[in-house]
């Protein structure tokens, strides 16, 4: 992949209101269940639960998105560490252009450096663009054009207990941004829903399994990573990513400490303390997300502070059963 002369993507949705109307109508006919918020239902579409907002963009992408064969997709279920993966990938891919002191990650939340496919933020940029696109969509939902074009995919997953706890805190934060509109369900109720597969882009195990199986079938095209491995051996993961992007670190770069510099710059400690991530906001339609919501603790095993050992064991057993025979474990 050629990473020279990249421009920052313009992060604006280009999905027109008219185009969305068609999908809104289709979504209104789907089976619904109460979700984690009393106000927004989860809709069941082809075996996965979605908030309508994400589904509209997903349907639009399926019909309209045309990738470049060199595009690389950073895929993940929600709250598995996508902000970190985006930061590392951006820093790796643009290291010829920027260093720590000039990186757009200093002043731009990682989600605006690498936009999401399903927000329709991909095709507004004129001229060269960063060939990295993110998505929370399940594998079977990725636009066919992505698979047909042979695009590479990185998939990041995480221990389901930490993912669940992270998700509950994230949605609670979003809910607090809409005062007077109702509260998020308790963590115990949300846990029951999660165990039934009812969560944004859930069932979580189906999301993970889809990419896992695809990575076994097409290992040259799909790099499967775990948050826990990224935490325990970040250097190995960063090198693996660079190789997968076809821009491995040279000996000279290693000698100069570029790998370590990227790891340090993209660490939770550093990114979460940047002004943009402490005080900035992302405005999405009528809602907003504080950038700080993407940085909570960044630890393995925080679930123990929020779930009982029994709850943890129950979710572990569900995962074990659902993943049995696949070769994948957490």
Closer residue to ligand A3P (CB): 232 or 297: 297
Regarding 115 and contact with ligand A3P (CB under 6 A), the answer is no
Q: 41 catalytic, yes or no? A: no
Regarding 302 and contact with ligand A3P (CB under 6 A), the answer is yes
* E strand residue ranges, the chain: 32-34, 41-45, 48-50, 72-76, 132-135, 152-157, 222-226, 281-284, 287-290
Closer residue to ligand A3P (CB): 23 or 136: 136
Mark the segment that binds ligand A3P (CB under 6 A) among 56-64, 95-103, 116-124, 295-303.
Answer: 295-303
- Which DSSP category does 311 fall into? H
- Residues touching ligand A3P: how many (CB under 6 A)? 21
Regarding 82 and contact with ligand A3P (CB under 6 A), the answer is yes
* CA gap 179, 135 in Å, rounded: 29
* CA gap 45, 101 in Å, rounded: 44
Q: Tell me how long the chain is.
A: 330
* CA gap 27, 133 in Å, rounded: 25
List the x/- string, 126-165, binding to ligand A3P by CB under 6 A. Answer: ------------------------------------x---
Regarding 80 and contact with ligand A3P (CB under 6 A), the answer is yes
List the x/- string, 169-188, binding to ligand A3P by CB under 6 A. Answer: x-------------------
Residue 157: CB atoms within 10 A of its CB come to 25
181: part of which helix (H) or strand (E)? none
Sheet containing 48-50, strands listed edge to edge, beginning at the edge strand earlier in sequence:
32-34, 41-45, 48-50
Among candidate residues 41, 111, 136, 169, the one labeled active-site is 136
How far out from the chain centre does Cα 220 lie? 21
List the x/- string, 26-55, binding to ligand A3P by CB under 6 A. Answer: ------------------------------
Mark the segment that binds ligand A3P (CB under 6 A) among 52-60, 215-223, 283-291, 292-300.
Answer: 292-300
* CA gap 278, 108 in Å, rounded: 11
* CA gap 72, 241 in Å, rounded: 11
Regarding 166 and contact with ligand A3P (CB under 6 A), the answer is yes
Regarding 277 and contact with ligand A3P (CB under 6 A), the answer is no
Closer residue to ligand A3P (CB): 239 or 296: 296
* CA gap 11, 61 in Å, rounded: 16
Q: Which residues of the shown chain bind ligand A3P in the complex (CB under 6 A)?
A: 76, 79-84, 87, 162, 166, 169, 266-268, 271, 294-298, 302
Show which residues are catalytic: 136
């Amino acid at each position: 992949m050629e990473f020279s002369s990249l421009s920052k993507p313009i992060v604006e949705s280009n999905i027109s209101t008219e185009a969305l109307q068609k999908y809104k109508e289709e979504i209104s006919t789907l089976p619904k269940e109460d979700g984690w918020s009393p106000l927004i239902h989860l809709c069941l579409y082809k075996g996965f639960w979605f908030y309508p907002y994400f589904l509209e963009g997903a349907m639009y992408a399926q019909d309209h998105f045309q990738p470049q064969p060199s595009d690389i997709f950073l895929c993940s279920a929600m709250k598995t560490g996508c902000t970190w993966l985006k930061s590392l990938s951006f820093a790796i891919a643009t290291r010829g252009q920027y260093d720590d002191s000039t990186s757009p990650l200093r002043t731009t939340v990682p989600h605006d450096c690498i936009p999401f496919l399903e927000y329709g933020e991909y095709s507004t940029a004129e001229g060269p663009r960063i060939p990295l696109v993110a998505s929370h969509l399940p594998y079977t939902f990725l636009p066919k054009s992505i698979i047909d074009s042979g695009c590479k995919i990185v998939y990041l997953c995480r221990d389901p207990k930490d993912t669940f706890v992270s998700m509950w805190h994230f949605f609670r934060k979003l809910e607090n941004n809409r005062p007077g509109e109702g509260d998020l369900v308790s963590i115990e109720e949300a846990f029951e829903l999660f165990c039934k597969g009812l969560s944004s882009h859930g069932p979580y195990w189906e999301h993970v399994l889809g990419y896992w199986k695809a990575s076994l079938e097409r290992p040259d095209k799909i790099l499967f990573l775990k948050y826990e491995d990224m935490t325990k051996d970040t250097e190995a993961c960063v090198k693996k990513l660079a190789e997968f992007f076809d821009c491995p670190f040279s000996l000279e770069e290693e000698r100069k400490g570029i790998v370590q510099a990227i790891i340090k710059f993209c660490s939770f400690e550093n990114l979460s303390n940047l002004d943009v991530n402490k005080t900035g906001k992302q405005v999405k339609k009528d809602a907003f997300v504080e950038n700080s919501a993407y940085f909570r603790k960044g630890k393995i095993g925080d679930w123990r502070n929020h779930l009982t050992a029994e709850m943890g064991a129950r979710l572990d057993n569900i995962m074990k059963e659902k993943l049995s025979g696949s070769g994948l474990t957490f």
